[in-house]
């Protein structure tokens, strides 16, 4: 495999996400020297659950930060399909994703302030920033010694780029574009209670053609690097790009275990957060928590070329109701109403303490299945 990639990349000039033909940089030695690693998860406790995510080389900790921020907002008592809930969750996500843009990156190459970002003290400082109106600016937290990273993230968002080329964007939301999807998600429990939550994704045929002789494209996630030096996501040999792929697990002390996730790029940890909050605070079953009206924001800088920023953006499903949508607009959200049953790709599976297993899958776009045997 390494030799085939090396031969192809010496001369290949392929269409990239910007819509022009350029050479790639991987070599056979890059492939041959790479080795998969096994790493611990990061986690927080929330209302009797411990929630586990990938480390700060992924966007997974943004969900954990959102949970920490929401602890101080009274979210548990809000109508899970009401305007207060949607507004509060959206504003919390804006804060946690602003931190994603400023501070997340491969911990093997950068000193990520992980303990601070996941601490309750830090979240208590962030939570009061959620006001009555929709925020329109980027507000990463200010952490001593990391001020330059926060300033750089704000400056990048202010220098928003325009529309991309043929392979631009994240294709899971294909129903909103002319693209076709790619990323998938799977949650599995076996008879012994072993669980897997995985979100596989790779190169997209729109922007990463098949390597001759291999039958597969190269991964296209290097578009998430920045060429500016000195950042946790600066391009460097051996460094992992900060991926959006973000499966989830959660556990309760009594023995209940939960695996959940979704495709969807920057939306993954937004939809998963909303699902988990509804599951925890309403007592809804897995399917009801998935079926409830979903929403997400593109307020922060996107992970995929052209890295667009849409201040105040909020996409909602119409099932939220006209009154709630009008309320959100009155609060300053720039609301985009999606077609019915088109937001979210969630699946989930759970094993109770007694061994009873449950599973649920979104009915949206007829793409997902829940199966037991």
pLDDT per residue as tens digits for the range 186-204? 999 999 999 999 999 877 7
Residue 28, pLDDT score: 87
- Please give the structure tokens belonging to residue 372: 């037991």
Note the pLDDT tens digit of each residue in 316-359. 999 999 999 999 999 999 999 999 999 999 999 999 999 999 99
- Which domains are present in the chain? 40-366 (3.60.20.40)
Kindly list the distances between the CA atom of residue 211 and the CA atoms of 73, 99, 203, 217, 238, in Å, as whole numbers in the listed order: 50, 36, 11, 6, 21
The average pLDDT across 41-58 equals 97
Residue 183, pLDDT score: 86
The average pLDDT across 44-48 equals 97
**For the whole model, what pTM was predicted?**
0.94
| CB-based contact 8:25 (threshold 8 Å) | no
Quickly tell me which residue has 């119409």 as its tokens.
318
pLDDT at 154 over 50: yes
Residue 167, pLDDT score: 46
Per the prediction, the chain carries an average pLDDT of 91
Residue 194, pLDDT score: 95
Range with lowest mean pLDDT among 43-57, 190-204, 252-266, 339-353: 190-204
Distance CA 289, CA 291 (A): 6
- Please give the structure tokens belonging to residue 129: 């920033």
What letters, b where the CB count within 10 A reaches 16 and e where it falls short, cover 99-137?
bbbbbbbbeebbebbeebbbeeebbeebbeebeeebbee
């Amino acid at each position: 495999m390494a030799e085939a990639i090396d031969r192809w990349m010496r001369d290949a000039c392929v269409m990239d996400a910007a819509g022009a033909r350029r050479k790639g940089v991987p070599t056979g030695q890059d492939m041959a020297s790479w080795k998969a690693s096994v790493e611990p998860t990061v986690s927080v406790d929330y209302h009797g659950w411990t929630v586990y995510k990938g480390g700060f080389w992924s966007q997974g900790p943004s969900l954990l930060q959102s949970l920490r921020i929401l602890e101080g907002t009274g979210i548990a008592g809000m109508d899970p399909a009401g305007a207060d809930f949607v507004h509060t969750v959206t504003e919390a996500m804006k804060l946690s994703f602003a931190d994603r843009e400023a501070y997340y990156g491969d911990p093997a190459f950068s000193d990520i302030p992980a303990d601070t970002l996941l601490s309750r003290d830090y979240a208590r400082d962030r939570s009061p920033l959620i006001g009555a109106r929709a925020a329109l600016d980027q507000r990463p937290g200010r952490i001593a010694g990391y001020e330059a990273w926060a300033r750089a993230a704000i400056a990048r968002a202010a220098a928003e780029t325009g529309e991309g080329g043929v392979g631009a964007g994240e294709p899971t939301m294909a129903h909103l574009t002319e693209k076709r999807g790619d990323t998938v998600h799977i949650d599995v429990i076996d008879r012994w209670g072993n669980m897997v939550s995985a979100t596989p994704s790779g190169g997209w045929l729109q922007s990463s053609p098949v390597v001759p002789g291999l039958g597969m494209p190269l991964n296209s996630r290097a578009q998430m690097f920045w060429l500016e030096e000195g950042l946790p996501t600066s391009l460097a040999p051996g460094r992992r790009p900060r991926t959006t792929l973000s499966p989830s697990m959660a556990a309760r002390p009594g023995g209940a275990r939960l695996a959940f996730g979704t495709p969807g790029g920057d939306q993954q940890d937004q939809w998963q957060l909303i699902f988990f909050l509804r599951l925890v605070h309403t007592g809804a079953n897995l399917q009801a928590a998935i079926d409830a009206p979903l929403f997400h924001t593109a307020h922060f800088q996107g992970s995929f070329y052209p890295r667009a920023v849409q201040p105040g953006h909020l996409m909602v499903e119409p099932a939220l109701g006209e009154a709630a949508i009008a309320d959100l607009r009155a609060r300053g959200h720039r609301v985009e109403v999606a077609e019915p049953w088109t937001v979210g790709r969630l699946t989930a599976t759970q094993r109770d303490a007694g061994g009873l297993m449950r599973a649920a899958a979104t009915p949206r776009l007829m793409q997902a299945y829940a199966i037991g045997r």
